[in-house]
Amino acid sequence: MRLQGKTAIVTGAGSGFGAGIARIFAREGAAVMVADINEGAATAIAREIGGIAQTVDVANGTSVAAMAGAARDAWGRIDILVNNAGITHLPKPMEEVTEEEFDRVFAVNAKSVYLTAREIVPGMKAAGRGAILNIASTAGLSPRPRLNWYNASKGWMITATKTMAVELAPHGVRVNALCPVAGETPLLASFMGEDTPEMRARFLSTIPLGRFSTPDDMGEAAAFLCSDAASMITGAALEVDGGRCI
């Protein structure tokens, strides 16, 4: 029960890594808000884990403010924030990514971190404690061709994590990032271009441990970094990638 008595918002928690994080947070004793743009998915996971469902568009300031307000109304405080919601563009030459695709990737993967910080950081600073976890990617550390602007958005998130950590440390707020390799999530086909046995085998050959990241892998790492056991860890970008970045 590493998170007993803690309250946590997990964005993009209706599926994939976010759902895995939400499940393990609940198992570890946290009260969890399952926030997702897909209302049905959020409701299903929240019902499964005994959490709160919240529909949110993390790229929209009004929607993020409503999410933070709902959490404060329910709990009176927010102890943990996991910025997990993210999207990608399809693999293609960098100059062929449309302006609309570029704007959407940076709105969801980067602007969302600013919007949630704007709404939630003041309360954490006032309380003198809190943990923020940004779900980045190995793409931000070891970028691959044809995913240029997605790579850049995750590199931005890693830099944002480190600067947030430095600024918020005097206030007792820790900020870390997780960098997973691709996993069994709704984004897998988008990362690979197509989901075929041949493409999976080619991708898996680049991971020394020989498998994808799983939602449970992410949940276990997230629970540690957001727990008091990690009280001396801030500004880290932890690779959960089976050795992919070596």
For this structure, is 114 an active site residue?
no
As a whole number of angstroms, the distance between CA 130 and CA 107 comes to: 24
H or E element, residue 32: strand 31-36
* Per-position DSSP letters for 110-168, written without gaps between them: IIHHHHHHHHHHHHHHHHT-EEEEEE--GGGTS--TT-HHHHHHHHHHHHHHHHHHHHH
Choose, from 31, 70, 109, 150, the residue flagged as catalytic. Answer: 150
Instruction: Assess contact for 89 and 18: CB atoms under 8 A.
Output: no
| Rounded to 5°, angle at Cα 135 from 132 and 137 | 145
The Cα 134–Cα 116 span in angstroms is 11
Which letter, b or e, does each residue of 227-238 get, where b requires 16 or more Cβ atoms within 10 Å of its Cβ?
beebeeebbbbb
Cα-trace Rg, the chain: 17
Kindly tell me the burial class for residue 224, based on how many C-beta atoms sit within 10 Å of its own C-beta (0-12, 13-18, 19 or more): middle
Residues carrying an active site annotation: 150
